[in-house]
Amino acid sequence: MNHPINWHEKHIETLGFGSRLADTVAKGMGSWKFIIIQTLFVILWMGLNLAGYIYHWDAYPFILLNLVFSTQAAYAAPIIMMSQNRQSERDRIQAQADYQTNIDAKQEIEALTLILNKLDVEKLDKIIAMLEEMKKK
């Protein structure tokens, strides 16, 4: 089924690889799935390091884990900001499209109002003409 392309589809088509990647990463990092997986990873990491008496790859206070989180945050923050900036741009485009739709609808309503008023006037003219003709008889 062929349907006209809307503003949202146009916006998606303009996104490059980096933009789509940033949106995907931001969507993933802002999910419960990510929070749960990361929590399980941290519990497993700490548990294995605390329980491993012989070999600690990251002994307490877990400096390597802190480094991993710092690196993750250093990359996550700008990626999420890129996605938010694009969301703001998309919202502006949507607002402009909504505004244009409202203007078009207003013009159509005004045109219909004029047509209805003209029809009412024509009906009244016919009624008056009929009444005047009835008076003459």
Structural domains of the chain, count: 1
The verdict on residue 93 lying in a domain is: yes
| Digit-coded pLDDT (tens) for 74-118 | 999 998 898 888 888 888 888 998 999 999 999 999 999 999 988
Residue 25 lies in a domain: yes
Q: At residue 47, does pLDDT exceed 80? A: yes
Is 88 part of any domain? yes
Q: What is the pLDDT of residues 114-130, one digit of tens each?
A: 999 888 888 888 888 88
Q: What angle do CA 15, 21, 24 make, to 5 degrees?
A: 105
Tell me the residue range of the domain where 91 lies.
11-136
pLDDT of residue 72: 93
**pLDDT of 2:** 66
Within a domain: 51: yes
Is residue 82 domain-resident?
yes
pLDDT at 137: 73
Cα–Cα distance measured from residue 109 to residue 37, given in angstroms and rounded to the nearest whole number: 54
